[in-house]
Structure 1
Amino acid sequence: MTGAGLTPAACPCGRTELRGKRVMTMALHACCGRWLGIGQTAQPAPDAEALMRSRYTAFVLGHIDYLLATWHASTRPATVTLDAGDRWLGLQVRRHSLLDATRSEVEFVARVRDATGRAHRLHETSRFVCEHQQWFYVDGDLH
């Protein structure tokens, strides 16, 4: 699942919306695609949970530039390397807590299968900060 041609596809982050009486996974272009600039001009994520979901989507789609641009300068690495054999399997947001007007935490579990076929779970509470009306990932604690 790669490329801008996927706008009708379901968003990898798994966010859902209610359509009539059915719960449906949001389309990429209406969900994280807005923040990543897929098929449209990129917009800043409105909150830490949206940023965290869009960063997960960036991992799935291989958008390294987005990962670096949304990583706070105080903790951002010089480069990000993605393992080509990784297959991201799903995201569950467990908690989103606004600590104050500029700080937030998001607890999530992301599932991935590596090139050898082994499945892994990344369970993290991530910290975010908002500066100049833009949210940034700072760091996180693994569980």
Structure 2
Amino acid sequence: MARRTPRPPRPPVKDGSPCPCGLPAAYGACCGRFHSGESVAPTAELLMRSRYSAFAVRDEGYLLRTWHPDHRPGDVDFDPAMHWTGLEIRDTAEGSMFHTRGTVTFVARYAVGGEPGQLHERSHFERRDGAWVYVNGTVVQ
């Protein structure tokens, strides 16, 4: 059996901490309730925000659970030097509680070794068995 690379420790985010996704609620009442399984994200945008937060807190289990099974990787390779610094939602199309598909265009900001960077992506989501999942994304130039 292949040996897995040890995962970097999770950044300290508590239920009362500001949510990494940028909404004005505390983590436990915002994305933390999705990460714990207490609730499922009712819209594609909230799933996108919760997945961003999952990258910020290094919640591999949540990311894999919310990835479309046809596109899901075997694991998530977190860069221990990467620190996620902010999320900006630029556009959404469909993705409400009444749709089966949706897209969310966003800019996710990060720093690696103190150097800033950003990911600008249009993500595609689909509702499967009543829950939103991430299908894939296209990098926006």
Describe how 1:90-109 pairs up with structure 2 within 5 A.
90-98=86-94, 101-109=99-107
Query: Which of 116, 119, 126 is the aligned partner of 2:116?
Result: 119
- 5+ residue gaps, structure 1, are 16-24
1:8 and 2:7 are equivalent in the alignment: no
Structure 2 counterparts to residues 16-27 of structure 1, below 5 A: 25-27=24-26
Query: What TM-score comes out, normalization by structure 2 length?
Result: 0.86
CA RMSD of aligned residues (A): 1.4
The structure with the largest strand share of the pair is 1
The SS at the match of 2:77 is: coil
Residue pairs, 1:36-115, within 5 angstroms:
36-37=35-36, 41-98=37-94, 101-115=99-113
- Code of the residue aligned with 1:104 in structure 2: it is G
Q: Determine the C-alpha separation between the residues in 1 that align with 2:16 and 2:43.
A: 24
SS of residue matched to 2:52: helix
State the alpha-carbon separation in 1 of the partners of residues 127 and 25 from structure 2: 25
2:109 maps to 1:137: no
Q: Structure 1 residue 2: deviation in Å?
A: 2.3
Q: CA deviation at 1:78?
A: 1.1
Can you list the C-alpha shifts for 1:64-91, whole angstroms capped at 9, x where unaligned?
A: 1111110001111111110011111100
Unmatched 5+ stretches in structure 2: 1-10
Q: How many residues matched?
A: 128
Q: Distance in 2 between matches of 1:138 and 1:121?
A: 21
Aligned letter for 2:28? Answer: H
> Aligned equivalents of 2:75 and 2:15: distance in 1?
27
In the alignment, what sits opposite 2:4?
none
Percent identical across equivalent pairs? 41
Q: Distance in 2 between matches of 1:31 and 1:128?
A: 20
Shift of the alpha carbon at 1:45? 0.7
State the one-letter code of the partner of 1:51: L
What is residue 125 of structure 2 aligned with on the other side?
Answer: 128
TM-score (norm 1): 0.85
